[in-house]
Amino acid sequence: MVVENLKMAIAALVANKMRSFLTMLGIIIGIGSVIAIVAIGDTVRRIVSSIYENFGATQSIIYPNFQDDSGYRLSDDFTKDDIETLKKVFGNQLAYIDTNGSASGDVKTRMGINKVTLTGADYNFIDFQSFKITSGRFFSQSDIKQQRYVAVIEDTAALKMFGTENATGRTFRQKLNGALREFLVIGIYHLDISPVQKLFMGNNQSVSAYIPSSFFYGNDESTAFSLRIFADKSFKGEKLARFNNDFIEYLAKMKNRKKEDYYIVDVGAQMSQVDQFLGGVSVAMGGIAAISLLVGGIGIMNIMLVSVTERTREIGTRKALGATTGDILTQFLIESAVISAIGGTIGIIIASAGMSIVGVLLKQSVVIKPVAVLLAVGFSAVVGIFFGIYPAQKAAKRDPIECLRYE
């Protein structure tokens, strides 16, 4: 009987193609909007997450926050001995540490003048980054110990400074610690990010280059009052928070300071907070888009009511031939469900195809979660059945004699 009702429902829809399509349009728009908005939200979350992961999920930056009258002291600088002590105390828990030193200045080459940011890095810094060396090499331990004037630059920086990405062996001069220094480019790295990720990261006019971190140890020429650390890669959530707390406590004790004299910027915690916020925004936007589904459901109900009126004699004939109230009810419920299901399927196809095309154009992979698709399909089915109940009940309760008299 269900198969027969399904055939009759499809026949009724085919007989009124334009009306059926216009009825589906609300569902198509509603489902398409929900899928597209949720996909955009999930994609933005992935982009932001990947940006944080490029920095390192267990990375933290420690800055001074001196509140007392003594202010900054020369002994507050972080020296090479301080860093070695911290490595010994925390062992494998502390995967990486340097002084987070950097210096910016103008570099003049035959390609023009570029603002270059030199960032200090130890020999194993590359193990905690997502970039890849495309030419040459990264720093060795001897580069760090001997403070060699060598640099590893980004391929985009090489293109701006030298007109080619293959710039190993080239040199450039930049002021560091009060004097003009000549740096030899020993490596080129590439950071694989999409145009959309670049947009989120901002338009930084400065080009990037890494130099040995030993240039930024506290000494007569430079100051080093902040630290960059990476905890063990397995540390997450509360475990990472406990490690950072223990590290700050020991650091304050080592420097004869109070714990409150330092504050920490925890990349992992920031990533979690941003992800939770974006997740909430995504759900809220999806909910707003789902309102259009309700509009589509009301459209189904209105059209089904019109259909019940137009098919009054058909209802009377079926009842006269032995169809029960349940049969009539089922027939009209199936019709509304079919409209909703077809509209929902078309909406999913259009939204998925549209988002995929946008992803290709922007060179950014788009996240379309199967769970979101299943929820959208389920919701559209519920909408179709819910808004089809009233018209179906109205049709099922019609008196067959009155139906046959209807003109």
**Claim to verify: residue 89 and residue 179 sit in the same structural domain:** yes
Q: Where are the alpha helices (DSSP H) in 146-210?
A: 155-162, 195-201
| DSSP tag of 261 | G
Q: Which of 73-77, 156-160, 365-369, 400-404 has the lowest mean pLDDT?
A: 400-404
Q: Which two tokens stand for residue 143?
A: 């580069």
Whether the per-residue pLDDT at 318 is higher than 90: the answer is: no
In this prediction the pTM is 0.64
Crossing angle for the helix pair 17-55 and 325-362, nearest 10 degrees? 40
Position 221 confidence tier, pLDDT thresholds 50, 70, 90: very low
pLDDT above 90: residue 390 = no
Q: What is the mean pLDDT of residues 137-157?
A: 91
Contact 38, 363 (CB under 8 A): no
Instruction: Please indicate, yes or no, whether residues 306 and 259 belong to a single structural domain of this protein.
Output: no
Please tell me whether residues 24 and 94 are part of one structural domain.
Answer: no
The pLDDT of 383-407, averaged and rounded, is: 69
Per the prediction, the chain carries an average pLDDT of 79
Domain boundary pick from 250, 267, 284: 267
Residue ranges making up the domain that contains 329? 2-51+274-405
3-state SS assignment for residue 246: helix
Question: What is the per-residue pLDDT for 333?
Answer: 79
Same domain, 31 and 69: no
Q: CA 50 to CA 131: how far, in whole Å? A: 12
Residue after which a domain boundary falls, among 208, 234, 267: 267
User: Domains in the chain: how many in total?
Assistant: 2
Please check whether residues 85 and 202 belong to one and the same domain: yes
Q: What would the mean pLDDT of 229-257 be, rounded to a whole number?
A: 88
Whole-angstrom Cα distance, residue 318 to residue 15? 18
224 and 164 inside one domain: yes
| Sequence-ordered alpha helix ranges (H) in 311-406 | 312-320, 325-362, 370-396, 400-405
Query: Among 69-78, 200-209, 304-313, 347-356, where is mean pLDDT lowest?
Result: 200-209
Q: Map residue 134 onto helix, strand or coil.
A: strand
* One domain for residues 46 and 74: no
Instruction: Return the pLDDT at 198.
Output: 59
Average pLDDT over residues 355-365: 78
Domain end call among 217, 236, 267: 267
Q: 125 vs 66, 122, 207, 265, 392, CA distance in Å?
A: 29, 5, 19, 18, 68
Q: Are residues 292 and 239 in the same domain?
A: no
Secondary structure class of 289 (helix, strand, coil): helix
Structure confidence by residue, pLDDT tens digits, 19-44? 778 778 878 888 888 888 888 888 88
pLDDT at 223: 57
Find out whether 222 and 41 touch, Cβ atoms under 8 Å: no
Using only the alpha carbons of the chain, give its radius of gyration: 33
Pair 125, 184: CB distance under 8 Å: no
Q: Please tell me whether residues 360 and 303 are part of one structural domain.
A: yes
Return phi, psi of residue 76, to 5°. Answer: -75, -15
**d(C-alpha 233, C-alpha 203), whole Å:** 30
If asked whether residues 133 and 254 sit together in one domain, one would say yes
Do 100 and 227 belong to one domain? yes
Q: Count other C-beta atoms under 10 Å from residue 363's C-beta.
A: 11
Token look-up 């049969």 returns 327
113 φ, ψ (degrees, to nearest 5): -105, 130
Q: Specify whether 114 is located in the same domain as 81.
A: yes
Q: Distance of alpha carbon 232 from its chain centroid, rounded?
A: 24
